[in-house]
Structure 1
Amino acid sequence: MSRLIAYPKPGATDTIRRFEPAYWHVDFSLPMMATVVTTGPDSLRVMATFRTNRDLMGLIWPTENGIDHGLYAWPRRKDYRGIELAFDWQATGIRAMDRLQSVTLTVETYQGPTHYVRLWNYATAGTPDACHIRMVLDETTRSGFHGDAHVPWHDVKRLFISLQPEQAGRGNCSLATDVPHGATSLTIHVGDAGPIRPGDRLYVLGLSHRQPFLTVTSDTTGPVQVVTVAEPVETGQGGIADPSAPGDPAFGTDTDSIDPGVGPPPLPIPAGAELFVETRAPEPIGDQEAVVEIAHLQVTGPNSTLPVERSPRTPHALRMTDGFDNAYPLTPERIVDQVHRLGYRGAYVLYMGISKFHALSWDEGEGRHIVDPTKPVLNAPSAHWIDDLFARLVAKGYTLIVSVSFEILHRFMPTAWMQRDHAGNPGLTGWQPPSSLVAPTVPDALAYLRAVFVDLLGRAKVAGSAIHFQIGEPWWWDGSFGSESPYIYDAVTMAAYEAATGSMVPAPKLTSLYDRPDARHLPYIQWCRDQLGAATDWLVAEIGAVYPDAVSYLLVFSPQLLRAEAPLLKQLNLPTAHWRYPAFDTLQIEEYDRTVEGDFAFSERTWRLAAAILGYPMDRIEYFAGFNLLAETSWAWLNIDRSIWEAFGRGPAAVYIWSREQVMRDGWLFDQQAWKLYPGLTHLATCWRIDRTDGVSLGFTAHDQALVVDGVRYRPANAFTASQLAADTEMAPADAEMLGAIDADEITAADLLGGVYDHAEVELFLVDWSDPSLPKTIVRRGTIGTITQSDASFTAELRGLAQRIQQPVIDSYAPECRVDLFSTECGVDRRGFERHATVAAVTDGSLGAVPDNRVFFIEGLDEPDGWFDYGELLWLTGANAGRRTEVRLWTAPRVEADGTTTAGRIELWEPAGRDIAAGDQLRLWAGCDKRLETCKTRFANVINFRGEPHVPGTDAVLRYPDPR
């Protein structure tokens, strides 16, 4: 059958450059819009429409390719060292490159923090809006405003160029007067003279590295404002850094390494220093259009290429569908090239759907951006992207089918257009963020849908395509994922019914789909059904008037009509008189959620609906198969493949797969020829076995049924997936990652955070689920390393055998001690350094401070600063009772000027797994920083010190005479 190739395979026949223009993608915050297209083999163009002063977008290059089909994806290569990257940059409409908080190359790492490289530091010529950038990804390219921080270029997880509008924050701001160390107010020249309010953040060039921003507590406005802040200002040592001397501690670029009592006192931050105001809430700025051109891109040096497979597959009969919302982040070149390589030909459906292509305006009354029919239909980034996609599809020989539905993103839809239920609630779909549905009785909404069709079809015509359009899934919403009631009670619809019939909308209103309406409700239900049919009739006629040769399609989602338990849906959403052949040139049908679940009896009803009820001949019927919504439910492809197989057997005009995104994400590879050899379809299932160090063994499988393999029961756990399984000469410690949702009784957040799964052995293998006694194929063995948790999911690093080779097996010389405190080799008695304490507070009480489960305050201890640094903490009571964690910093209580005493401050290396609360009791043990001085003064244990602080190191080898 068709098969899954989710990860890159070894033996690639070709290479691409890193940072190849076609493989960048974009992401951004709503309500802005951005797209990226290639303009040549070494160039790309980003177009953006910024709509608020907090809008932020990223042009992204990931190390791990989770977008492309596994057949054509590159393997993970996290070492970027030595790459020389050069390009020409030209931009309009974005915050200038030389400003604070402007164009940044953000570098996310696997093992460490995120770094921010200021591109302007590496401009070799030009202006902030038009320049040449050259950087070598080594010690010469560093992060920070002044390029003074090391970047681990060998451990890159993702890179992205961050872009903000010209009107970001409060515009270009600066200090109007000097700001001394310890100040609690600043006088500011405000770029746009707008208000600065409590909760806003100030980023000031010259602040200590320990203080990334200041939190505003005052409420001011005007071109010059005096604002107060929640925390005293900490200036860098020596004041503001001198850009001419990056990396020089004398200019305050690295204050963390300076002893507070040594050297000159902190100088004021001088007037004129740059400042950025980040408003607490977004503010509308109209439509600020922006364009960024990257040209003459050159990538050379070691690690500058990636192995890929580029050989095409044999063309086949299955057709492709796509959704604009899933496609716009990518370049059209990338999409079209890969779909073509995978053998898809013929028609290509683009579903515009929910979506983000709309032109929007700020509506003061509604307090949000909404669709504005008075503007050009498509916003500029979408129009540019659509034109490029259509041109490339036509050039490859595809027939475009443009699909528009009645669905619009809820936060953008005008209130008057929305379908509503009996209580006046808008119809919200299950997507996040949710979309809403246009009522087919609203003339302004229908006119807008017509305008969208006409605009898109005009662009298809310019690209050289014949005119094909699809009305996608028109219906009255059924309240799925919510109230499960009919959404036919918006004000416009009810008023139109009363005006047309002279009758009142029947009361009481229907509150459930499962009600069987009595005679008084039937006239209103039938009228609503006919209005749905009339709306589609009107759209077909209107489009035909503009494009007489247009070919029309209707896409019908049969589960919305044929639910036996809810006959009201068929009465409401099947206007047979309006949709019966030949109302449309082609009827397209889909039933994906039923076939994915294996309900093939329902499929018979779908085909009967198309042929017997709506009367379309088989050569006028097209079938949509799919889709697998979640990557972890890869078993769904078994039934999807079967539905395709059966559909082709019926002989329709065409069969489509919905959609490109899932095909690429899961690596699904269509292979019709294999059906003759494997009529039973695939029997492979992925299994994970976890053997914990406490002797417990757990088994999980991606199959939808439990399996018993070698005497171990593997329970279905579709919330598990694995990242790319890298197996190459890098021998990286993190050979793979297991990603899963904590939804199994066997795996709990408490066990993960408590270390129960640390160093557990893992075996990943494939087995034939139809006969588990057959030999299994082992894909990977290893042990669990670092585990991280985010909300209801976790990521576990799977360390392969190669990682063990890299571990030291003998002691080596080092100035620090090599053994753990309180260990047998150390010899210090733990009981003598044990303390008990109680949590006094979880914040310092300052304005805006929120608990983060990492920092808290305790009472009852007076040990000096640093006593518990690197020490251990055991929670005795509270939500974290029984858990151990490591202490990062201890600050002893202090007596303030007014005579009050502050509580001691504890900072953990990682947040506690559960909430810390005042009154929680804990036990603490002193920590050791491995230095001889600490061993002597704190523990009197020099006799057991296992370090060599007096052995000369590289500093002695590199020492040279001092002329002074």
Structure 2
Amino acid sequence: MGHWLASEREGQEAGVLTRFDAAYWTVDFPRPMMASVVTTAPDALRVDCVFYRRDDLAGLIWAAEDRHDHPLLRYATDRDFRGCRLSFRWRSGGVRPLDAVHGPVLTIEGRDASGAARAWYVRLWNYAVGSPEDAVVAIDFADVDGGFLLPGEADPVWAGDVDRMFVSLVPPGYDAGDAPLAAPAEGWVELSDIRCEGPGSVLAVGDVVVPEHGLGICSGYDDSYHLTPARLLHNALRLGYRGDIVHYVGMSHYFRLERAGDGLFVSLAGGALNVGCAAWHRDFAARALALGYGVIWSLSYELFDAHCRGDWKQRASDGSPALTGWVPPSTLLSPAHPGAMAYLQAVARAFVGLGVAAGLVARFQVGEPWWWVTPGHRICLYDAAAKVALGGDPVVIDDVRGELDAARRDLLDRAGALLAASTAALVAAARAAGAVQVLLLAYLPTILDPAAPEVKRANLPVGWAQPAFDVLQLEDYDWAATGNVGASVRAVAAAEARLGYPVEEQQYFAGFVLRPEDRGQWSAIVAAAQRARARGVAGVFLWALPQVLRDGLIWFDEEDGVEAFDDVRFPLALGAQAEVIPETQTTIAAGAGGAEVRGIGWAEPRTRYDVAPGVRSQEDVAVLLAFFRARLGPARGFRLQDPFDHATGDPVGPLDVALGVGDGATTRFPLVKRYGAMVRRITRPVAGSVRVSVGGVETQGFTVEPGGFVLLDAAPGPGVAVAAGFGFDVPVRFAEDRLQVARTTHGAAEAVSVPLIELREP
């Protein structure tokens, strides 16, 4: 498996896109209102909104620069709209009509002919023919005026340098104040028969198709609510992702709200999902099915804090609510609160029901259910409902790190049983709505934190053991993105031992890169996905599509034959006359005065061998021929013991070679051998020969990974030296496609030449 981070098209396939294509519009709006946009035909779209305040405003946006698609699939930036004539049929309901004050306005943002930044406000009613809620709108960007009344208030638009334009949608009771509406107001707008004509009507667009590579993809509604499902799924399909999509429904955009006092809180009045969310997910489910995708609906215990009822929140022993690090924050629902859990079950039924109605095979994931642990290491078991469920006056745990006494361990066990009971009820609700498969997603760095070994009692409860779920999904983003392989390996083993799911009933989530400046972390994430595949899990998913598109990630499967290797040793002992030929690649240029300039082409020498002197008998020839055939000549590599250089010392000792220095986090160190300043990477250590020291003291707390890596059980502290000693073989292949042997005398034979060449391994 390989990867590439693309920043722009560089000769890749491109096609054409009509400007103002329905699938490429977006929406945006302020909290707490909600809106979504979906395509209803190739030339039509629909926006659904719910308004809560008098000044709520949604924008239906077309941007000159594509910042949402993958770099290889984006449409070209063209800020000059003057060669475009846009027309569409407008129909609406529940929003200010076209002819009203504060009715729909096309705001055009950019620069005027002098380069000064400014905006123009084009009242759509001035360019409409029909009624205020059903009209045909036509705009020629070479000749269009802003202003409310024309021609008296005309403000000529110069559309030669446009950043974006958007149509404003507001509730019927709109005014400039932020007072609440008497009741939530739902509205909709449909644009159909969208046409763009003129010399500027066509844009270049990426048309890349990445071959299917076997990885699944995750998406998240909170990161994609503003896009059309058609656009999102187009990217996933073109980038080679197939099978199931794990779709996290999010924590901040799906809910309905009702007013209580001065606040707005999640509500089941009118249904679990707001009108925009429901419309978006109906379209998403239908399109996923049409493209051959399955959908795993993912729901967590996380909820946007500002809209969560106070008694639903998990709380620490001091009464402070569980708050995540997002800005603004989310909170965690208490597994002990009947109202909170009933709400979550209703949400699960709603999403599963949408999938079933679309014809999908319903799959449901309980995503990262846990008792929150604060940055100050307090576990949030102390909301009123939890305290009652845990005996009324549970012992206080103000720090979950280190060893805990029996009373606190017992409390964590009871909290774990409570959490497991809540997930079982959530699973039952999903199954009742039609889910045929249920999955559990567990985030290992938190629930199996080495510094807090007892937290697993509460957050990886034995009540989740097989067969509570059909599939166990494991994720370890903090470790995967930073290359902390040791922590991941140990945590996976611990989760397997505790819950009992065999590897074929596990899936792995690889990811994720939070900030664009950290896009280099994808290399470690690729390696983590490869290790999961090698472990034999049932599926590997990448978290998540928005970050893939942002960072330009391309995944591809490499040809297996390129790296084909049989982990067996050359079967014949090498004679004393075997030839060992290290070679370098050096270019030497002589100047006019005779001074030389030498260029080094390889970082380290590569060795050639001729092992013909080891062939002495007809039996040796038979073994050699069989070995050559089994390797398909040069096609497959194998091990060779170099007769002159096959160990770090004689005898091997744990201090032979410095591998590196600890930093408090790294547990994985590559094996090397040093020749002065030259460092040789060792990828084929001899099994059982590796000895390791940390801080000058030999340790048994390590494993040896394939590829020649030492994986320590614990990360050495900053500045602590890590060293090792070992025997090793050289990875080689036959250098030629043919092998020439001959019989010499009775019972004897020889090979004229058996050349081998060292392989470079990553």
- Classify 1:675/1:644 alpha carbon distance in 2 versus 1 (closer, same or farther; 3 Å): farther
Runs of 4 or more consecutive aligned structure 1 residues displaced over 6 Å after TM superposition: none
- 1:904-949 deviations in Å (ceiling 9; x for gaps): xxxxxxxxxxxxxxxxxxxxxxxxxxxxxxxxxxxxxxxxxxxxxx
Letter in 2 for 1:154: G
1:94-133 equivalent positions in 2, closer than 5 A:
94-109=95-110, 111-133=115-137
Contact 1:80-1:156 at 8 Å conserved across structures:
yes
Letter in 2 for 1:436: T
Higher strand share: 2
- Tell me the residue number matched to 1:363: 260
| Equivalent of residue 598 in structure 1, options 471, 483, 497 | 483
| Equivalent of residue 486 in structure 1, options 375, 379, 382 | 379
| Equivalent of residue 462 in structure 1, options 330, 337, 357 | 357
Following TM superposition, by how much is the alpha carbon of 1:497 offset from its aligned partner in structure 2, in angstroms? 2.0
Following TM superposition, by how much is the alpha carbon of 1:7 offset from its aligned partner in structure 2, in angstroms? 2.4
- Tell me the residue number matched to 1:553: 439
Contact 2:265-2:308 at 8 Å conserved across structures:
yes
- Tell me the residue number matched to 1:564: 450
Inter-partner Cα distance in structure 1 for 2:56 and 2:42:
30
- Classify 1:288/1:9 alpha carbon distance in 2 versus 1 (closer, same or farther; 3 Å): farther
1:212-361 equivalent positions in 2, closer than 5 A:
278-279=176-177, 281-361=178-258
SS in 1 for 2:155: coil
Inter-partner Cα distance in structure 1 for 2:226 and 2:440:
27
SS in 2 for 1:432: coil
Following TM superposition, by how much is the alpha carbon of 1:446 offset from its aligned partner in structure 2, in angstroms? 1.2
| Equivalent of residue 539 in structure 2, options 619, 644, 654 | 654
Inter-partner Cα distance in structure 1 for 2:285 and 2:259:
30
SS in 1 for 2:331: strand
- 1:870-890 deviations in Å (ceiling 9; x for gaps): xxxxxxxxxxxxxxxxxxxxx
Following TM superposition, by how much is the alpha carbon of 1:12 offset from its aligned partner in structure 2, in angstroms? 4.6
| Equivalent of residue 452 in structure 1, options 347, 351, 374 | 347
- Tell me the residue number matched to 2:668: none
| Equivalent of residue 624 in structure 1, options 481, 497, 509 | 509
Contact 1:45-1:292 at 8 Å conserved across structures:
yes
SS in 2 for 1:428: coil
1:479-878 equivalent positions in 2, closer than 5 A:
479-480=374-375, 483-498=376-391, 504-506=393-395, 509-514=396-401, 516-547=403-434, 550-576=436-462, 578-673=463-558
Inter-partner Cα distance in structure 2 for 1:460 and 1:298:
32
Letter in 2 for 1:82: G
- Tell me the residue number matched to 2:605: none
SS in 2 for 1:498: coil
Matched, 1:425 2:320: yes
- Tell me the residue number matched to 2:164: 158
Inter-partner Cα distance in structure 2 for 1:152 and 1:630:
36
TM-score, length-scaled by structure 2: 0.71
| Equivalent of residue 477 in structure 1, options 372, 377, 384 | 372
Q: Which runs of 5+ in 1 are unaligned?
A: 170-277, 680-964
- Classify 1:128/1:657 alpha carbon distance in 2 versus 1 (closer, same or farther; 3 Å): same
- Tell me the residue number matched to 1:690: none
Inter-partner Cα distance in structure 2 for 1:574 and 1:541:
19
Following TM superposition, by how much is the alpha carbon of 1:121 offset from its aligned partner in structure 2, in angstroms? 4.8
Letter in 2 for 1:156: V
TM-score, length-scaled by structure 1: 0.56
Inter-partner Cα distance in structure 2 for 1:159 and 1:485:
48
Inter-partner Cα distance in structure 1 for 2:280 and 2:358:
13
Inter-partner Cα distance in structure 1 for 2:356 and 2:8:
38
- Classify 1:30/1:145 alpha carbon distance in 2 versus 1 (closer, same or farther; 3 Å): farther
Q: Which runs of 5+ in 2 are unaligned?
A: 565-762
Contact 1:143-1:151 at 8 Å conserved across structures:
no
SS in 2 for 1:510: coil
Following TM superposition, by how much is the alpha carbon of 1:150 offset from its aligned partner in structure 2, in angstroms? 3.3
Letter in 2 for 1:2: H
Contact 1:48-1:380 at 8 Å conserved across structures:
yes
Following TM superposition, by how much is the alpha carbon of 1:118 offset from its aligned partner in structure 2, in angstroms? 2.5
- 1:590-622 deviations in Å (ceiling 9; x for gaps): 001211112111120232134322211111000
Following TM superposition, by how much is the alpha carbon of 1:314 offset from its aligned partner in structure 2, in angstroms? 1.3
SS in 2 for 1:636: helix
Q: What is the percent sequence identity of the aligned residues?
A: 34
Letter in 2 for 1:123: Y
- Tell me the residue number matched to 1:914: none
SS in 1 for 2:487: helix
Letter in 1 for 2:436: A
Matched, 1:76 2:80: no
Contact 2:98-2:125 at 8 Å conserved across structures:
no
Letter in 1 for 2:544: S
Letter in 2 for 1:26: V
1:390-405 equivalent positions in 2, closer than 5 A:
390-405=285-300
1:876-915 equivalent positions in 2, closer than 5 A:
none
Inter-partner Cα distance in structure 2 for 1:398 and 1:530:
35
Following TM superposition, by how much is the alpha carbon of 1:10 offset from its aligned partner in structure 2, in angstroms? 4.9
- 1:171-198 deviations in Å (ceiling 9; x for gaps): xxxxxxxxxxxxxxxxxxxxxxxxxxxx
Inter-partner Cα distance in structure 2 for 1:484 and 1:36:
42
Contact 2:352-2:433 at 8 Å conserved across structures:
no
Letter in 1 for 2:220: G
Contact 1:135-1:141 at 8 Å conserved across structures:
no
- Classify 1:134/1:541 alpha carbon distance in 2 versus 1 (closer, same or farther; 3 Å): closer
Higher mean C-alpha deviation, range 35-44 or range 562-571: 562-571
- 1:133-175 deviations in Å (ceiling 9; x for gaps): 1111124344566452233311111111111111111xxxxxx
SS in 2 for 1:601: helix
Inter-partner Cα distance in structure 1 for 2:398 and 2:545:
37
Following TM superposition, by how much is the alpha carbon of 1:540 offset from its aligned partner in structure 2, in angstroms? 2.2
- 1:17-41 deviations in Å (ceiling 9; x for gaps): 1110000111111111100011111
Inter-partner Cα distance in structure 1 for 2:95 and 2:427:
42
SS in 1 for 2:102: coil
Letter in 2 for 1:625: A
